[in-house]
Amino acid sequence: MRSKLLATLILATLSIGAAAQPIPVFLDTDIGDDIDDALALALALQSPELQVLGISTVLQDGPQRAALVWHILQLYGRTEIPVGIGAEQPLLAPPRSGPVRQAAALRPQDAIDVAMPPLRRRNGLELLIDTCLHAPGKVTLVAYGPLTNIALALRAEPQLRDHIQRIVLMNGVFFRPGLEYNTMMDPEASAIVYTSGLPVTAVGLDVTMQCQLSPEHLRQFSASPLENVQFLWKLIQIWQSGDPGRRPILHDPLAIAATVKPALIGTVAGAVTVETKGTPEQTYGMTVFRKRAAGLVEVAQEVSSTAAVEFFMNRVVAPPRK
């Protein structure tokens, strides 16, 4: 009896240790346009359940986006994480141009050529592939921008799929007609990822639109004495473009939150196709979800929005975790 009890205790201890192991993740982001990318990065860095192995940027002016990522890593004391500059243009969709607006929050000395050590700055595609191939276990990709980097990596390295646990996306709109920005910016890349045969969890506009910060949440940002939170508040103000009543919606942070706490969303299994033949701004980039019992794509159909927002706030307005 005593030996059986001892064995049970050992197994329980091992189970607790296994459960406590952080999830190895690689983040892919078009940070610098909408505010939610920076908020998602902050949430990931503040989540001990995640081990962030690397970060790649996507869309135009990659050096500016990477400088923004690097500055946030500095504020959170996480400069051990390498940053890669990824694809600056979509696979086939019209090229993207224009400034990265939130880079205005950076000081001249925060420019990537000055602030980021060369060993921490990488080609984004190479960084994504190398990180996954050489990680001790399978990696979860969390992508909350256009899926150009993920699609290119899957096509460039056939072995990659054996090293990916799953892909978590902020992408698409599934239960009503409409277009979502990340899908629309590179429909062909989204089509490659959704039909890759890898497990995919997608949070779309159907659920993310339910997760909006309140005026009180914004007051918590503005009143914080913490340097990391004040920088996020500065980015929020740039995004507001002079409209103080404009409140962030947690599109991208919900992808991070769902990776940490899957119970925050309710998903339906099925298959997703992406319209790549349609007319821009009408059907080009539209996502079509077909429900089936044995689908590898899990699409979020519902969200515990109050719990998701409070989960986000509790972590992001806190001091950088040790």
* Stretch among 53-67, 125-139, 213-227, 284-298 having the lowest mean pLDDT: 284-298
Identify whether the C-beta of residue 63 lies closer than 8 Å to the C-beta of residue 119.
no
The backbone region for 25, taken as left when phi is positive above 0, alpha when psi lies in -120 to 50, beta otherwise, is beta
First vs last C-alpha separation in the chain: 42
For the cut 80, the answer to whether the pLDDT of residue 111 exceeds it is no
Taking Cα atoms as reference points, which of 183, 155, 145, 157 lies closest to residue 57? 145
Q: Beta strands 83-85 and 265-274: pairing type?
A: unpaired
Taking Cα atoms as reference points, which of 165, 200, 204, 169 lies closest to residue 286? 204
314 burial level (CB within 10 Å; 0-12, 13-18, 19+): exposed
For the cut 90, the answer to whether the pLDDT of residue 8 exceeds it is no
For the cut 50, the answer to whether the pLDDT of residue 77 exceeds it is yes
Quick check: is 251 catalytic? yes
Is 230 or 279 the better-scoring residue by pLDDT? 230
Q: What's the pTM? A: 0.91
Which residue do the tokens 């992408």 mark?
171
Domain ranges of the chain: 22-316
- In sequence order, what DSSP letters do the residues of 253-296 get, joined into one string? HHHHHHHH-GGGEEEEEEEEEE--SS-TTTTTT-EEEEE-TT-S
Region 47-73: mean pLDDT is 96
The span from the CA of 139 to the CA of 259, in Å, is 12
| pLDDT tens readout for residues 113-140 | 667 777 677 899 999 999 999 999 999 9
Percent above pLDDT 90 for the chain: 84
Q: What is the pLDDT of residue 116?
A: 76
What is the b/e burial string over 194-229, where b = at least 16 CB atoms within 10 angstroms of the residue's CB? bebebebbbbbbbbbebbebeeebbeebeebeeebb
What is the phi/psi pair of residue 117, to 5°?
A: -60, 140
What sign does the dihedral 164-170-172-177 (CA atoms) show? Answer: positive
The amino acid at 209: M
Q: What is the pLDDT of residue 292?
A: 83
Residue 153 CB partners (closer than 8 Å, separation 6+): 125, 128, 129, 132, 160
For the cut 70, the answer to whether the pLDDT of residue 210 exceeds it is yes
Fold of 22-316: Inosine-uridine Nucleoside N-ribohydrolase; Chain A (3.90.245)
Q: What is the pLDDT of residue 186?
A: 97
For the cut 60, the answer to whether the pLDDT of residue 17 exceeds it is no
> pLDDT confidence of 313, banded at 50, 70, 90?
very high
